Amino acid sequence: MKFNYSKHVPNTDNDATGAILAAAADPKVISLAGGLPAAELFPVEDFRASANRVFDEHGAQALQYGGAAGLPALREEIIRNFLKPRQVEGAVENIAVTTGSEQAIEQIAKMFINDGDTVLVEAPTYLCTVDAFKSFGAKIVTVAMDDDGMKMDALEEALKAHPEAKLIYTIPTFQNPTGRTMPVERREQFVKLADKYGVPVLEDDPYGAIRYSGKAVPPLKHFDKTGNVIYMSSFSKILAPGFRLGFVVADEGFIKTFTIMKQIADLHSDNFSQYLVADYLAHNDVDAHIAKISKLYQHRFELMQSLIESEFPAGVKHSNPEGGMFIWCQIPGDIDTQALFDACIKQGVAFVPGDPFYAGESESGTMRLNFSNVDDDTIREGMKRLGAAITKFLNK
């Protein structure tokens, strides 16, 4: 049956990313392509205790419908555990709980974008966001980055050329895919520039808590004095993605509208998950848990980084993330990364080619490597295979 879908449905005959992930899922292939957190650190026993307490203390209420903005107890815990330590101001009325930050991205796209509207994004950036923006007809304008994130001269140029832009989307901390982090001074500049041109900022921060070196930097939202920054974060990388819980922090008026739209989409996020996470946060030291995650990721990052030095051909550049889950590599020369990907699959190892992360023209020879969900032996073997495959490819 051939259905007549709306214009929001993308062309699914051309799912390059799906094809990459399918090739990487072959059990004979070591995948450094994924973006999954380390499941061995999911606090299963603590959640078992939370589940018992939730049933003892709340019974059927935890299985009932809930409010669209989210469980008030969870929103209080978000303030105590995440906003105050990150120097972000906000009351319960400034927070909406979402079904992962993915829902926030899609819904904000729906709220802001009409056909042909301009949105500014980093080059490269998280590709699902670009897909969400495009599904509402956005014209995507990319802004160049350097090792410190989005470049402010490039942003100002883009804002001058597109003062009508509806949003600026950014992942300023341990960015997906590059692992890059924007320093404090640039954050202040960013918020001022967005204010000057009156374009709202959508700040996506799922990785910011997972820092294993360097000094913490506050989110852009900390510098926001006008309510122009919409901040999003998620429990996916610090507790477990299966709960599908994230949150948005913004102006009270925005949260009211957002909540009405969310009600249309799904009435509310999973109520039982919200009770569980609220209970977990009230009874456990989440900072100690995040410190454990950061320690393991630091070890895996350092191992992968040392293997880039020893196994990859000379001249391969890579990012040096101080947190998060990804390293971004660039192989010098004019490289067809898709052909390189195919060659690596033949050697039994996968990465994500950089091209799909670029909404505009891509930079040659880029690739994303993930280290969060692979043990030491797998990293060693995977990087050996990858190094050999790249060397062979370059010497062809």
Ligand X SMILES: Cc1ncc(COP(=O)(O)O)c(C=O)c1O
Residues binding ligand X (CB under 6 A): 35, 100-102, 126, 171, 176, 204, 206, 234, 236, 241, 246
In terms of CB distance, is 98 or 271 closer to ligand X? Answer: 98
Distance (Å, whole) CA 168 – CA 122: 9
Query: Looking at residue 377, what DSSP letter applies?
Result: H
What residue ranges in 84-206 does DSSP mark as E strands? 95-98, 118-123, 139-146, 149-150, 167-170, 201-204
* In the complex, least distance from residue 102 CB atom to ligand X, rounded to whole angstroms: 3
* In the complex, least distance from residue 206 CB atom to ligand X, rounded to whole angstroms: 5
In terms of CB distance, is 126 or 328 closer to ligand X? Answer: 126
Q: Which residues contact 166 (CB under 8 A, 6 or more apart)?
A: 112, 113, 117, 118, 119, 138, 199, 200
* In the complex, least distance from residue 224 CB atom to ligand X, rounded to whole angstroms: 19
In terms of CB distance, is 102 or 195 closer to ligand X? Answer: 102
In terms of CB distance, is 234 or 366 closer to ligand X? Answer: 234
In terms of CB distance, is 35 or 124 closer to ligand X? Answer: 35
* In the complex, least distance from residue 333 CB atom to ligand X, rounded to whole angstroms: 29
Question: What are the phi and psi torsion angles at 350 (to 5°)?
Answer: -130, 150
Cα Rg for the chain, rounded, in angstroms?
21
- Return the half-sphere exposure (C-beta side, CA atoms, 13 A cut-off) of residue 146: 8
Tell me which amino acid residue 154 is.
A
* In the complex, least distance from residue 39 CB atom to ligand X, rounded to whole angstroms: 14
In terms of CB distance, is 149 or 387 closer to ligand X? Answer: 149
The angle that helices 184-197 and 152-161 make with each other, rounded to 10 degrees, is 10
Q: Which residues contact 342 (CB under 8 A, 6 or more apart)?
A: none
Distance (Å, whole) CA 25 – CA 19: 10
Coil, strand or helix: which one is 230?
strand
* In the complex, least distance from residue 315 CB atom to ligand X, rounded to whole angstroms: 28
* In the complex, least distance from residue 241 CB atom to ligand X, rounded to whole angstroms: 5
In terms of CB distance, is 34 or 227 closer to ligand X? Answer: 34
